[in-house]
Amino acid sequence: EAGVTQFPSHSVIEKGQTVTLRCDPISGHDNLYWYRRVMGKEIKFLLHFVKESKQDESGMPNNRFLAERTGGTYSTLKVQPAELEDSGVYFCASSQLKSGQNTGELFFGEGSRLTVL
Amino acid sequence: DAKTTQPNSMESNEEEPVHLPCNHSTISGTDYIHWYRQLPSQGPEYVIHGLTSNVNNRMASLAIAEDRKSSTLILHRATLRDAAVYYCIHPSHQGGKLIFGQGTELSVKP
């Protein structure tokens, strides 16, 4: 069974450009999460989809970040325009957790490293 | 948000047991305790979780204090491949969102 896959593995762009990161969750997982780790900091939650709906987007840093999950399958995270402080590793995770559950395993991808110059 | 406290780093020798402590004094009665680890250049991976009783799986054991304010992840025989950052987490009630702390960086010496 394929795990969570993320693309690209590494992206280098200049400040002001746009980047779109993609995440393919494990098939059948309704829950999809985005996290990021900025250099030297902790892994931070960004947002959570249940199917195509945004369940929790409290961690999105600002309106330069746009996440979508059309059709409830794969998700994209677009950064437009990118700033230097957006550099870091963006992780996607998926799970089969049902509404009201607070436990269960999250499966993470290997991350997309973003470098903004 | 949920809050846990772990030592920043620990060292172990290969083939020896490792006990990784975690304090979670604000945990609620229904919060599970999860442990994840992040190997170099990889995404976090699930290790183990528990509520009140001690738990064992193929990767590790989890010992939970009776008052649930602390827990210990036990690697019975550390290998070089166990070198990673270990995170002790108790999820929020909002769909299982994980709140990562700084974790414990475990180094394993041959």
- Check residue A103 and give its pLDDT: 64
> Rounded to whole angstroms, what are the CA distances from A46 to A54, A111, B54, B64?
11, 14, 32, 29
Nearest-by-Cβ selection for A56 from B42, B46, B94? B94
Q: Do B31 and A102 touch (CB under 8 A)?
A: yes
> Rounded to whole angstroms, what are the CA distances from B29 to A78, B36, B68, B93?
38, 21, 8, 12
Residue A1: which pLDDT band, with cuts at 50, 70 and 90?
Answer: low
B72-96: per-residue pLDDT in tens?
999 999 999 999 999 998 776 566 7
Please give the mean pLDDT across all residues of chain B.
90
Q: How many CA atoms lie within 13 A of B31 on its CB side?
A: 28
Angle at A111 between CA A21 and CA B49, to 5 degrees: 130
Q: Element (H or E) spanning B99, and its range? A: none
B46-77: per-residue pLDDT in tens?
999 998 889 999 999 999 999 999 999 999 99
